[in-house]
Amino acid sequence: MSETKTIRIGAVGISGRGSGMLNLLLQIPGVVCPAVCDKVPERAARGLEIVKKSKSYTGYEVHSYLDYKELLAKEKLDALVIFTTWITHSRIAVAAMNAGLNVAFEVGGAASIEECWELVHTSERTGKFCMLLENCCYDRKEMALFHMVKQGLFGEVVHCEGGYRHDLRDEISLGRENIHGRLYNFQNRNGELYPTHQLGPISKVLGINRGNRMLSLVSMASKSRGLNEWIKNNKGEDYDLYGYDFAEGDVVTTIIKCAHGETITLTHDCCLPRPYSRNYMIQGTKGCFMEISDRNALLVMDGVTKSTHEWEHFDEHIEKFDHPLWSKYTKDGVKAGHGGMDYLVLSAFVEAAKDNLAPPIDVYDTAAWMAVTCLSEQSVAMGGMPVPIPDFTNGMWIDREPYRRGVYCLEEVCDDFFTDQAEGE
Ligand SMILES: NC(=O)c1ccc[n+]([C@@H]2O[C@H](COP(=O)([O-])OP(=O)(O)OC[C@H]3O[C@@H](n4cnc5c(N)ncnc54)[C@H](O)[C@@H]3O)[C@@H](O)[C@H]2O)c1
């Protein structure tokens, strides 16, 4: 990436996530942020402060907005990053692409298939890209596993699993007090509300949208008890949400079938006590990786572990399989943000946006991964009936234009971009 080239990026949604991401974004060489926006005035003001206090700030004019449409109308930008609530990402992204900007937004699921198609059609019509900021695609563990898959160490991959298993009972329940968007979703929707943290890396392992696609899914939801128990114990009987009939089941399980026969199981689990885990699992004809918790992952693999009947700790093996991006990153100094992956996903976006190049997570990936949410809601509503998953590439998945190779590529490990000579260029 040309470090000297400047790019003007606006940021919308400056709550907890937006503040952290804006801070990181401003550490990427060449990034200038002349406009920030949040509909909550203190948060818009906080955005202004983050920009002005950043080390890279050179005294340029920065404006804050309460309305993203006004921001788009008044500012001359190259790109927009969106850290707002799930149901607002797409509409802001569509408006930004229509205004001629490349766009990236935080993870979340779609409310409708129409929303996903609108992203695809707007990106195709405007020539502007739309990238889901799925940071987990750039986690060290996920990248090492991708590297291993590409080296054929798993053999043929047959089944993958993953989940978003995160005890968020306080964050969800106190949504109104903290102006945080999850609560309304859990009150009103029942499905796989947050599929992409593990579906993103799994899709890249399985070549989804490039030679493979997701065909259909089934979803089932458990009963909902966890939030009620938390509210009873922490807020008491006088709290207005005491005894509320939450729509979202505590554990939602989704199984996806792919065109080449693979299956994917996703678990959404945010309302019961448990340590954080994305429970990643990859099973192939030569080996199996299984994440028990964030700090405990296991491996068996022909020719790598002593036996395929005894687990070994993945930590003992990761260094030899590190993705070259992570070897370089570790050498250069890992930046904060979920163990370093946040900086990498933002860097991947900036690299593509600076030169209007294809991003490593494109609008087809974004649409397909997000669509799982509204489709799982439909399946749950119909007692677990199978639901077809649209092909957002419109047939092109069997013969796509070549992907762009590079350091942030998620289709292939491009070793040649990491040689000393390539780095010196
Ligand atoms: N990738 C990750 O690891 C990770 C981690 C945390 C959160 N997230 C995602 O980041 C996003 C934001 O998370 P959060 O916890 O900060 O959410 P939040 O609900 O606390 O904040 C959303 C912010 O967007 C603002 N907003 C909503 N609609 C707006 C509009 N139309 N115009 C301007 N501002 C608007 C709200 O006022 C609020 O400040 C979510 O999609 C969340 O799922 C991702």
Those residues whose C-beta lies under 8 Å from the C-beta of residue 253, and which sit 6 or more positions away, are: 219, 220, 221, 265, 266, 267
Å from CA of 319 to ligand 1 middle: 34
- Candidate of 42, 43, 85, 90 to mutate for ligand 1, largest count of ligand atoms within 8 Å of Cβ: 85
Residues 212 and 311 in one domain: yes
Indicate if 295 and 392 belong to the same structural domain: yes
Let me know if residue 317 belongs to a domain: yes
Can you give the pLDDT at residue 333? 84
Tell me the residue range of the domain where 317 lies: 140-327+359-416
Shared domain check, 42 and 172: no
Of ligand 1's atoms, which has the minimum distance to the CA of residue 91? 31
Low-confidence stretches of the chain (pLDDT beneath 50): 424-425
Domain end (from 117, 135, 153): 135
Tokens found for residue 54:
């950043």
Residue 333 domain-assigned (yes or no): no
Residue 91 lies in a domain: yes
Write out the two tokens for 341. 């992956």
Domain assignment present for 175: yes
Q: Which of helix, strand or coil describes residue 198? A: helix
- Regarding whether 89 and 16 lie in a shared domain, the answer is yes
Are 148 and 114 members of one domain? no
From 91, 111, 135, give the residue that closes a domain.
135
Q: How far apart are CA 336 and CA 334, in angstroms?
A: 7
Nearest CA to ligand 1 atom 22: 84
Domain boundary among 77, 108, 135: 135
Same domain assignment for residues 394 and 409? yes
Pair (243, 176) in one structural domain = yes
Residue 171 CA, closest ligand 1 atom number: 15
* pLDDT recorded at residue 423: 54
CA atoms within 13 A on the CB side of 234: 13
Distance from the alpha carbon of residue 89 to the mean position of ligand 1, in angstroms: 9
Backbone angles phi, psi at 160, to 5 degrees: -130, 150
The answer to whether position 398 is within a domain reads yes
- Taking the centre of ligand 1 as the mean of its atom positions, its distance from the CA of residue 163, in whole angstroms, is 20
Residue 58: other Cβ atoms inside 10 A: 6
Which pLDDT does position 425 carry in this prediction? 43
Quote the ligand 1 centre to 78 CA distance (angstroms).
Answer: 22
Q: How far apart, in Å, are the Cα atoms of 53 and each of 23, 32, 47, 298, 405? A: 9, 13, 10, 43, 35
Query: Ligand 1 pocket: which of 23, 84, 172, 184 to mutate (most atoms <8 Å of CB)?
Result: 84
pLDDT at 421: 54
Nearest-atom index, ligand 1, CA of 107: 41
Same-domain status, 91 and 182: no
Residue 22 counted as domain residue: yes
Ligand 1, CB within 6 Å, residue ranges: 12-13, 15-18, 37-40, 43, 68, 83-86, 88, 106-108, 135, 179-181, 338
The verdict on 127 and 201 lying in the same domain is no
pLDDT score recorded for residue 339: 83
- CA dihedral for 180, 182, 186, 188, sign (positive or negative): positive
Residues 122 and 151 in one domain: no
> Which atom of ligand 1 has the smallest separation from the CA of 40?
37
Distance, CA 37 to ligand 1 centroid (Å)? 12
Q: 184-237: per-residue pLDDT in tens?
A: 999 999 999 999 999 999 999 999 999 999 999 999 999 999 999 999 999 999
Residues 256 and 391 in one domain: yes
Q: Answer yes or no: are the C-beta atoms of 351 and 1 closer than 8 Å.
A: yes
| Count of the separate structural domains present in the chain | 2
CATH number, domain with residue 99:
3.40.50.720
The answer as to whether 64 is a domain residue is: yes
Q: What pLDDT does residue 336 have?
A: 73
Q: What is the pTM of this model?
A: 0.97
Asked, for residue 254, whether it belongs to a domain, the answer is yes
Ligand 1 atom 11: the closest Cα is on which residue? 83
Query: Do 158 and 102 share a structural domain?
Result: no
CATH code: domain of residue 323: 3.30.360.10
